[in-house]
Structures are given as structure tokens and as C-alpha cells.
Amino acid sequence: MMSNNEKTRFYQDKSRELAGHLDDQSFLSENIDLLREVIRFHENRYYVMNDPLVSDVEFDLLYKALEKTEATNPSLVVPDSPTQRVGPGITKQFKTVQHLVPMLSLENSYDAADLLEWDRKARELSGLEKLSYCVEPKFDGASISLVYENDLFTRGATRGDGVEGEDITLNLKQIKSIPLSATFSRYGIQQAEIRGEVLMNKNSFLKFNEQLLEQNLPPLANPRNAASGSLRLKDARLVGKRNLEAFIYHIAYLNFTPDHEEIPSHAKSLEMLWDLGFRSPVHEKKVFLGIQGVIDFCKEFEEKRDELPYEIDGLVIKVNELSLQEKLGMTTHHPRWAIAFKFKARQSTSKLLQVEYQVGRTGSVTPVAKIQPVPIGGVTVASISLHNQDFIREKDIRMGDTLLVERAGDVIPYIVKSFPELRDGSEVEIQFPSHCPVCKTALVKTEDEAVWRCPNERCDAQVVERMIHFTSKDAMDIRGLGDAIIRKFHEMGWLKDIPSIYQLPLDELRKMEGFGAKSVTNISEAIEKSKTQPLFRLINALGIRFVGETTAKTLAQSVSHLLDLATMDKEALQQIEDVGVKVAESIHQYFSNPANIEMLKRLEAAGLQLKSIKQASVDGSLKGKSFLFTGTLYKMKRAEAEALVESNGGKILSGVSSKLDYLIVGEDAGSKLEKAKKIASIQILDEDGFIKLIQKPTDTQQSAQHL
């Protein structure tokens, strides 16, 4: 076998030889296997090793020569030719395929104590005093599974629900760091299923967002979303233009020949993958004997995560010896021989420029910090909620302060602290307003709340925010009347309150610039359609404090007519399921206000549905099971998913508790996921797992996987 230097010299010489015969079709046809081998070598140097040996022009000339030779001699085309990455046509639908081995998620750790406890359990199960651990980056991308049979790449899939995923083979073939063939047979392997992560590196992400902005399209939030969305594109040719990369970090399944070579450790498996042409983290990984070295490395690596060309959100620690991995085994949720160490949320510093005050639909006055725009975790942050007056005091935040800002959960901007030691004397204390910044009414605050409120329900800001909430998709869903339109119509005097939505002067609207006949018709139809919305949607649309969609459904089932709630005292309201003291107080206060009763009567006169249509109990496959959704769903709207649960006899809860059976997790899930992980009885499914649960409830409940 040639050394690396000998191999490099060989392919460099052959590149020059082929370059001298680019116009000789007879020579190229006779040496087409060599031409393909040389191109594969250069692809590996460029896309895997990031160390090209030839210029882009030289590579393109070789590639075009191969294309021309195969086009002239179609019988010479082979499945793993570099030209066979792009297939014709557009994929209409990705079919579902089953993984050879389930893709389990990893248990998470956040500090040294978590790692020490995990190490203790692993040592107890193994019977050894010290274990050897392999540590590698936890890539922040889209998980994939690849199958190779007889050295050829035959199938690639998404993670899906861990048992089944979507077949995205054609899209994955566009990623140049995934070889179309790999000589597994050299190690006595006939079939292999390997796992990895598809990424978009930081530079590619920035360039891609620049292209989107040039096309007046909104930029993507982060490289992970860019990678995940790219893999679901229907046109594989577009995937090839996204400059995606794939890191392969795990061998899940191997089918050996009798004379196969043994792979003793995980570290050796990464080296084998690298030798086969995959971009494995062989150079990033470290092996330690004992957990203390792992802990020290995690702290060191977190400090230099920004130096990497791609995003990572932690490190993965694996028991290195494969025989011990097998001995330790796995739970139904995660392997016992591996754990993820999650890094702290992304942080940066910025300057507080000014504070603005926003008035919400319930009168709450929220201070919002306007800071010098700063990029954090792939997005530019310029505004951050200061929550309330107490938050400002506790954090000792002053105008002009330097602030430490993070994206909590890598999503929501949050001010961690100020830096008093950096003050130069020009900073001033923030004076919270005593009067509403919009209507100038004196603000009030109850003893049990930290929020100051404007008590004037006719305050223009509250009126507008209530109308925006009323028309939103989770309320009355009046499409066409968005935030900006409602504000504009309010300034013009057309929208004065919620009932005025149903008196909108459509004839006048048709005369306005920017409103064509089609858009006016759509608004009119959406307004009319809202009149048929069920009662719970109307209750939710009213924006009563502490009453969300779930409580609204309960209230709608508890009365025959919405105004029945006006006849109930607080004690009677508390008899309704899931209505506690605080919620009962809020409902009673709302229906004790004559102005609200008058508004509801006007809505009923306009044709809205105030009567309750009681739903019969559904004896579906999910009867007796409770659900909660968090994060963004990809395949359906959350309202549709909740409707599916209820149509199958299940129940939607408003929060995480021991009463919850299933938490369905979408993209960018928040604190509900972390809370649910601490309650053993809650089963956590992703969107694909939920769909499978609906379709095959019995089988899926038995194999539900925690994320």
C-alpha cells in the first residue's frame, strides 16, 4: 500500500498526464477508470481534507472531460461515477424507509457533575475502575443515515422518528464529501450503515444569506436550519448549490465476511472512515483514560468553539472500546455508553442605546432594550425584552451600559448581566414611566405582579393589540388583516375596536392604492369565514388574561352560550376543570365589565357564533392520553396536529406536568422539552414519531423514543 506522500505524487502525476490528453477521446475512453479515480481523489482533497492539490479550473477540465467521454460512450457509465451525483427530474415525495438499526438520541449533560455521575454508572456496569473515552464535536446540523452495500452508496435517510426516516438518497448524492463508493470490502465488510450530520459551514451560510437578501428574501436564522431545509428540497440540483458538508461519526451496523478485520475501538472506526474517504472527526477527536481528562477538555474546547468553521453545540463522549459499548448496552431512549456535553448558550457583548416601552393588549407595559446590533449564533440581535422594572433593578442595567447578551436555548435573546466595572460615568439610571407612554394614563401594579399596567382599556395601543390578536391565525384567523394593515386602518379611523372589523368599508378599501380586487375579496371572505369559527376560537380571540386555547376549549364545553359566563361567580368558575383561582378571577373580571358584554352582543349581532356546539366524547385510539406541542412543526400546523389528537380521543394540555403523556417536539423547542425530560412518565416524540403514533398507535407507543 502506498504511503500518503506516494499516493499524492501518484495522483498528481496522473492528473498532469490526463490533462495532456483532454482532447483525445480514444485515450480518455481507454483510461476512463483512471480518470474517475483521479477526480475522486481530488474531490476528497477538496471536500473532505480541505487541502486541494489542483486549481478549480484544472479540476473542472478533468470533470468536463469525463462528462464528454461518458456522453460519447454511454456504456462506460458506472453508478459511482462522479457525474452520477445529479439525477434528472424533481422528487415529488420522499418515501419512508426503516433504519437497519434505530437511531437513538443521546442523554444530555451540562456540567462536570453530570459527567461524573455518568462515568460512575458506566464504571459500575462495566466492572472497571477506569474507562477509556473518545471525545468528539457534537455537530449542530441535520442527522443522516447512510447505507453502503458491496462498496456502493445505496441509500441515505433522515433520522425521522429514530426507527424510520425519509429516503433522501438523491439529495445526499449532491454532497461532495459523501463518496458514492467506498472500499468497505477492504475490511471484510459487505454492508454498512453509518451515521453523521449534514452541515453548512459559517462562510457558506453567510454567502447563502447574502444571496437571499439580494433576492429580497428573508435570511435564514442559523446554519442548522439551512442544512435541514436543504435536505428536504424537491429538486436535488438545488441541493448541490448549497455547499453542504457531511461529517460521518458513527458506524451503526456492519455485515462482515468470515475473514473480516476486527475494529477494536470507536477511535479506530473514525480512522477507518477517514481512510475510506469520509470526513470523520478523526482530527478533532481526543481519547482519555478516565473522566477528569474529558471534563478538562470539555471546558477547554468550549472556549474555542468559535474558531471552528462550522457550528457545534457541545461534545459527545463515548466509551472507546466497542466490546464495552456492547456490554453497557442501551435503554429504549439512549445508549448507556455515550453522552452529550452541551455548551452554554451563545453570548456576546453590546451597548444599551435606549429603552422603548411597548403596551400589550392587556395593558402590560414592557421595556425593550435597543442595543448596538450584534451577531449571536447566526442572527443579528438589536432588540431584547427587559421584561419589567424589577428585572432592570436586579440586573442593575443603566442607559449606556455594556451588556452581556445571549440567545437562551440559542433562540431567544436575553440579557445576562451588565458590566458596572466598564462604566465611565456617562451612564444614567433607567426611569420607568409612571404613566402610559401612549395614552398618558397613570400606570398601576398589583402586589402579586411585577408588571406595570395601563388600566385604560380604551388606550389606543391596547385596542390595536387586541385587534391584532383577535385576527391572528390561532384566534379568528382573518387572513389579510395583519399587524401592519390593522395599524394603518386604525390610524385612518376605520378600525376603532374589535366589532368594527365586521364593518370595514370594503368599497372604500377598493379605492386605496395597493389593494386590488383580489386582495379585497380575500379579506372580505376571511371576515365572513371567521363568523363560523367555533366558540373556543372566539374565547381565545378575546385575549382574556390567563385564558389560552386549551382553557378556551374547556370553557366552550362548559356553557351553552358565551354570556353564561357572565352569570357565574368566581366559585362557580373554579368548578370548571383546569380553572384555578387566578384564571377564575380573570374570567370573572372580564365578564363583569359592561363594555365587554356590550362588545360581545355587537359581535353576535354581526353574525359571530356565541353558542356552544358540544362535542361528544370520542372513543379514538388516543382516548385517555394527553398531549402538548412545543417548537415549530414542519409537516403540519400546530392547530392541525392538535385537532388530530382530539379527533382520535386525546386531550391537549396547556403545560408540562405529571398529567402529560406525550410531548411532541418541533424545531427550536424551548424550556418545555427540558422540563419534560425530568418527568420519566412523559414520552417525547418528534413530528414524525407523532404522525406514526396517529397512524399506528399501538406499535408506536411501544417503540416511542425520547429525543
Angle between helices 4-19 and 32-43 (to 10 degrees): 120
133 bridge partner residues: 288, 319
Q: How far apart are CA 288 and CA 296, in angstroms?
A: 10
**Which ranges of 135-288 would DSSP assign to H, the alpha helix?**
169-172, 202-214, 223-231, 236-239, 266-275
For residue 599, give the DSSP letter.
H
Q: How far apart are CA 523 and CA 649, in angstroms?
A: 34
Residue whose C-alpha is closest to residue 551's, from 524, 582, 529, 520: 582
Cα distances (Å, whole numbers) of residue 285 to 48, 71, 135, 199, 278: 16, 43, 5, 18, 15
Residue whose C-alpha is closest to residue 360's, from 457, 465, 469: 465
Collapsed DSSP state (helix, strand, coil) of residue 683: strand
With beta carbons less than 8 A apart as the criterion, state whether 376 and 412 touch: no
Burial of 71 (0-12, 13-18, 19+ CB in 10 A): exposed
Q: How far apart are CA 706 and CA 334, in angstroms?
A: 8
For residue 54, give the DSSP letter.
S
Burial 627-659 (b: 16+ CB within 10 A, else e): bbbbbebeeeebeebbebbbebebbbbbebeee
Identity of the amino acid at 433: P
Q: How far apart are CA 404 and CA 80, in angstroms?
A: 51
Q: How far apart are CA 24 and CA 609, in angstroms?
A: 79
Other C-beta atoms closer than 10 Å to the C-beta of 90 total 12
Residue whose C-alpha is closest to residue 315's, from 339, 293, 292, 291: 339
End-to-end, the C-alpha distance of the chain in Å comes to 43
Catalytic hit among 92, 95, 138, 635 = 138
* 635 included as an active-site residue: no
Cα distances (Å, whole numbers) of residue 306 to 81, 208, 224, 303: 37, 19, 15, 8
With beta carbons less than 8 A apart as the criterion, state whether 533 and 476 touch: yes
Q: How far apart are CA 40 and CA 62, in angstroms?
A: 11
Q: Which residues contact 95 (CB under 8 A, 6 or more apart)?
A: 166, 167
Burial 455-492 (b: 16+ CB within 10 A, else e): ebbebbbbbbbbbbbbbbeebbebebbeeebbbebbee
Query: DSSP string covering 157-175, please?
Result: EE-TTSSEEEB-HHHHTT-
Do strands 338-342 and 107-109 pair parallel, antiparallel, or not at all (unpaired)? parallel
List, by residue number, the catalytic residues: 138
